[in-house]
Amino acid sequence: MRLLTHNMLSSNIKGVTNGFPLRIEVEKVVEKEVEINHDFLRNIFPKIDWKAFSDASRIMGYVELPEEAPEPSVLESDLEFLRKFHHALLELHLEEGALVCPETGRKFPVNKGIPNMLLHEDEV
C-alpha cells in the first residue's frame, strides 16, 4: 500500500466519527520505482491532506517532505519538490505492518502490502 492510498483511507467502524488518518505501524517498507507524472501530481495535490501525508512519510522513514503544506505554485516550478512528492506518494509501500484506527485503536493488519479492512460483525 502506497501513501496515496493511506491518505484516502479512513476507519469505517460503526460509531467512529473521525477515522482519519489511520496510524501506521511499520514492520517493513519497500520502495518501487515508477515513472513520474507531473500532471497526476498537480491533479491530486489539492486532495492530499498534507499533515497526514508528511507525518506518514516520516513514519515510513522518509524525512524530505516539508511539514507544512507548500503553496500550490511550487507544483509549477519546483522540480525537486515534485520529485520528493512523487517518491513519498507513489514509491514507498507499506509491505508489512498495520493501520490503526485513531479513535478506537482497532488494528487493521497489512500483509504482503494488502491492508485487511474487513470489519467484524459488531463493527458494522
Q: Which residues bind another protein (CB under 8 A)?
A: 1-2, 4-5, 7-12, 19-20, 34, 37, 39-40, 43-44, 47, 49, 90, 112-119, 121, 124
Q: How far is the CB of 13 from another protein (least distance, A)?
A: 8
d(CA 59, CA 62): 7
Q: How far is the CB of 2 from another protein (least distance, A)?
A: 6
The smaller minimum CB distance to another protein, of residues 70 and 113, is found at: 113
Annotate 61-92 with b (16+ C-beta within 10 A) or e (fewer): ebeebeeeeeeeeebeeeeebbebbbbbbbbb
Q: How far is the CB of 11 from another protein (least distance, A)?
A: 6
